[in-house]
Structure 1
Amino acid sequence: MSKTASKMISLGTVAPEFYLKDTNSSEWLSFSDLKGEKGTLVLFICNHCPFVRHIIKEIVMIANDYRVQGIGVIAISSNDVSKYLEDAPEFMTEFAFENKMEFPYLYDETQEVAKAYDAACTPDFFLFNNQNKLVYRGQLDDSRPGNGIPLNGNDLRGAIDGVVYNRIINPNQKPSIGCNIKWK
């Protein structure tokens, strides 16, 4: 299990636009279609990564807690499926269903979206405010597979609360750690 850190791009970066197929609905959707009234969480995940599997229930709880408060939630998988078949779109649909993901799970076949966001790992989190400017890029919390620290989502939840309630978000953010994106 490789450990790759997120790249921590500059806060204030404007969300790159995209147009990708949702493996849950088979619709083609853009950032503009999916952004929330108060802000938008874009997360890069995949089906097979043990780091993602470790936190997927917390991700779903966060999505359910905050979508009703005006936060758009968008999951994207950018892995090369020729080398990692378990991340193919049909398995993404199955993964989303099994984990009760009621938010779009988009397939980035060309990997152009991952490159535009400078995504490096799964999971990799990007939180944008209502002006589509990056206010958080970092970890969910300190829990990792096998480290014994319970999941709570505190880091990400704190940032989302900042967006929802118009609070200052601490710019000192810890990078996410996960499997590297499987590039072509």
Structure 2
Amino acid sequence: MALTPSNMLPLGTKAPEFKLKNTVDDTFVSLTSAKGIQGTVIMFICNHCPFVKHVNSQLSQLAKDYVSKGINCIAISSNNAKNYPEDSPVNMKTNAIENDFIFPYLYDDNQEVAKAYDAACTPDFYVFDKDLKLIYRGQLDDSRPGNDIPVTGNDIRGVLDNLLNDKPISDIQKPSIGCNIKWK
């Protein structure tokens, strides 16, 4: 497993639109239909990566803590499921149910959405304001498998709290680290 950092899309970038199949209920979800009133967290994740497995419960809790505040989360897997069958849409649905994801878990089969967002790793996080302008990209927090730092989501929670309270968001942001996206 090679450690891959985020590419750090430029702040202020407008979120690229997409329409992908939600593996949980087989409906199609667009960014426009799923975005939050106050902000949107887009997460590139997958099923097999130990870095994602390490934070799944926090991703579930983060969505539950912020949805009532107008922040929606959207998860996308862009991995090549042919070469990584654990990341297939069927297994994505199982993973979403097991982890009690209340957000859509979308499959980017042709990998165009990952390319549009310049996503590099799983997990990779993007926070957009109500106008879908990028205000944060990078890590969930400092926890990694085996480093004994608790998973708190502090980096993204701090950004979301500042967004909701009209406070400035620092442009000093740490890239996420994880498994590389499995490109076709």
TM-score norm. by structure 1 comes to 0.99
Q: Distance in 1 between matches of 2:168 and 2:63?
A: 21
Q: How does 1:18-167 map to 2 (within 5 A)?
A: 18-167=18-167
Count how many residue pairs are aligned between Structure 1 and Structure 2: 184
Deviation, 1:162, is 1.6
Deviation, 1:163, is 1.6
AA aligned to 2:83 is K
Tell me the secondary structure at the aligned position of residue 115 of structure 1.
Answer: helix
Tell me the secondary structure at the aligned position of residue 73 of structure 2.
Answer: strand
Gapped regions of structure 1 (runs ≥ 5): none
Q: Distance in 1 between matches of 2:109 and 2:144?
A: 28
1:8-57 residue CA offsets vs partner (Å, 9 max, x unmatched): 11000000000100001110110000000000000000000000000010
Q: Give 4+ residue runs of structure 1 displaced > 3 Å after superposition.
A: none
AA aligned to 1:79 is N
Q: Distance in 2 between matches of 1:19 and 1:97?
A: 22
Q: Distance in 2 between matches of 1:29 and 1:90?
A: 17
Deviation, 1:141, is 0.6
AA aligned to 1:96 is A
Deviation, 1:154, is 0.7
Q: Distance in 2 between matches of 1:164 and 1:87?
A: 34
Q: Distance in 1 between matches of 2:164 and 2:64?
A: 14
- In structure 2, the residue matched to 1:178 is 178
- Which range moved further: 87-96 or 163-172? 163-172
AA aligned to 2:93 is T
Gapped regions of structure 2 (runs ≥ 5): none
Tell me the secondary structure at the aligned position of residue 137 of structure 2.
Answer: strand
How much identity, in percent, do the aligned residues show? 57
Q: Distance in 2 between matches of 1:45 and 1:78?
A: 8
Deviation, 1:182, is 0.1
AA aligned to 1:133 is K
AA aligned to 1:9 is L
Q: Distance in 1 between matches of 2:76 and 2:32?
A: 15
The alignment's C-alpha RMSD in Å is 0.6
Q: Distance in 1 between matches of 2:73 and 2:10?
A: 21
- In structure 1, the residue matched to 2:4 is 4
TM-score norm. by structure 2 comes to 0.99
Deviation, 1:158, is 0.4
Deviation, 1:177, is 0.3
